[in-house]
């Protein structure tokens, strides 16, 4: 099946570069090119492409505005072509809020980048999002506060690793477990830390969880699969959209109650216990193929904490399952997002299949549940509010 692609960029050089990359794939047909946001909207409406590569900075209507308009009038799988700058990162997350599904990165001097890697990334994402568009991508929308909370699921006792060994390349439309089995945890101790793993779709879906989660008595550490140029902007994006103190972590930084810490992209983050308390450690690891590694973060929580909780949200593949099994072996709770509510359900589905999960919930229910586990009670929040 041919993938109909629309290329949008105000740079002739970039349009030619993208065209040459995608022309190598015989399944992709370029149906049009636009150099302004308004042209992109007009062509999207008239041509109805399957996938759009969208520049951010263009004269007149920019890429974020064009994305929002296209998603209203002619929805497509939109991949942002983002610059490796702080401004570019902020605009990328705004575009993901507006309905874009993913992004690729370019520098101000595109020819200096590894063109082979950019080409591989672009072709894979065009194919992937076209497939998910046809199967029906889940686009979670913010809900009214009254509709967010429902009672957590009752758990069914299950032996550890009761289900089949997880595959690490999963497609939720094919593998969603209609009758999952849950592990029962005996621990009721409040977590010293909460660790969270998320990948594809995270920048859009994390907001829904944080919007109903109260401030916590413990730190929350996030491993979001993302490049080094974007995790700082991602943290700022979450901070702007929530009440939480969200920031990009640094090596040897002490973790304080209420902190929401994003592990720096392009390298790994894990927890270490020190005389002063828990600290974040940051370092690259050539043995790991995806950064930051959710498995490594979860394994460190199992190793250094007497009580911790793990959360796995939307994402492709199976990162987090091995780490979740390590936490399960210490009787720590593991909560996953309901796979069919994910943009891509592979990561929670993989954990479900391993038998280590204690609860499966919507994003909003996860936020509420974390508040019940480790949130500051309402009466304490009121007392701490200045008169």
| Domains of the chain: total | 2
Asked whether residue 129 falls in the same domain as residue 181, the answer is: no
CA angle 52, 233, 222 (to 5 degrees): 100
- Considering the domain boundaries, does residue 145 fall inside one? no
The residues carrying an active-site annotation are: 199, 225, 319
Asked whether residue 129 falls in the same domain as residue 261, the answer is: no
Helical axes 346-354 vs 321-329, angle rounded to 10°: 40
- Considering the domain boundaries, does residue 142 fall inside one? no
Note the pLDDT of residue 83: 78
pTM: 0.83
Domain final residue pick, 111, 135, 159: 135
Asked whether residue 20 falls in the same domain as residue 67, the answer is: yes
**262-296: buried (b, 16+ CB within 10 Å) or exposed (e) per residue?**
bbbbebbbbbeeeeeebbbbbeeeeeeeebbbbbb
CA gap 230, 54 in Å, rounded? 18
Rama region for 211: left / alpha / beta (φ>0; ψ in -120 to 50; rest):
alpha
- Residue 34 bridge partners (DSSP): 8
SS3 category, 237: helix
Note the pLDDT of residue 119: 87
Asked whether residue 228 falls in the same domain as residue 376, the answer is: yes
- Residue-wise pLDDT for 72-110, tens only, equals 999 999 999 987 677 788 899 999 999 999 998 876 555
CA gap 356, 17 in Å, rounded? 46
Note the pLDDT of residue 115: 67
Asked whether residue 231 falls in the same domain as residue 358, the answer is: yes
Note the pLDDT of residue 204: 87
Domain final residue pick, 135, 161, 176: 135
- The list of the chain residues with pLDDT below 50 reads 112-113, 137-176, 387
**Structural tokens at position 170:** 């999963």
CA gap 97, 149 in Å, rounded? 23
- Considering the domain boundaries, does residue 25 fall inside one? yes
What is the extent of the structural domain holding 49?
Answer: 3-135
């Amino acid at each position: 099946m041919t993938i109909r692609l629309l290329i949008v960029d105000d740079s002739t050089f970039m349009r030619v570069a993208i065209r040459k990359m995608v022309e190598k794939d015989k399944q992709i047909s370029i149906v049009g090119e636009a150099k302004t946001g308004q042209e992109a909207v007009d062509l999207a409406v008239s041509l109805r492409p399957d996938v759009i590569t969208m520049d951010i900075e263009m004269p007149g209507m920019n890429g974020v505005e064009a994305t929002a308009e296209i998603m209203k009038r002619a929805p497509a799988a939109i991949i942002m072509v983002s610059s490796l700058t702080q401004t570019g990162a902020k605009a990328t997350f705004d575009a993901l809020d507006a309905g874009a599904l993913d992004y690729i990165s370019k520098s101000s001097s595109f020819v200096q980048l590894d063109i082979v890697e950019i080409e591989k990334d672009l072709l894979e994402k065009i194919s992937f999002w076209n497939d998910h568009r046809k199967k029906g991508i889940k686009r979670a929308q913010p809900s009214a506060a009254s509709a967010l909370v429902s009672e957590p699921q009752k758990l069914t006792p299950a032996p550890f690793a009761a289900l089949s060994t997880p595959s690490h390349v999963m497609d939720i439309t094919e593998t969603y477990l209609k009758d999952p089995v849950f592990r029962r945890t005996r621990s009721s101790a409040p977590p010293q830390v909460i660790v969270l793993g998320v990948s594809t779709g995270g920048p859009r879906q994390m907001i829904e969880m944080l919007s109903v989660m109260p401030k916590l008595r413990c730190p929350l550490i996030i491993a979001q699969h993302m490049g080094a140029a974007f995790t700082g902007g991602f943290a700022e994006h979450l901070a702007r959209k929530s009440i939480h103190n969200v920031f990009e972590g640094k090596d040897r930084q002490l973790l304080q109650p209420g902190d929401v810490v994003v592990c720096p992209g392009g390298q790994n983050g894990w927890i270490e216990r020190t005389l002063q308390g828990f600290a974040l450690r940051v370092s690259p690891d050539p043995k790991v193929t995806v950064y930051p590694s959710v498995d490594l973060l979860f394994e460190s929580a199992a190793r250094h904490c007497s009580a911790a909780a793990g959360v796995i949200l939307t994402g492709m593949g199976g990162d987090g399952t091995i780490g979740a099994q390590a936490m399960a072996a210490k009787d720590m709770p593991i909560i996953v997002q309901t796979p069919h509510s994910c943009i891509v359900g592979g990561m929670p589905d993989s954990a479900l299949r391993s038998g280590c999960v204690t609860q499966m919930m919507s994003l909003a229910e996860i936020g509420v549940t974390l508040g019940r586990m480790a949130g500051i009670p309402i009466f304490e929040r009121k007392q701490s509010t200045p008169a």
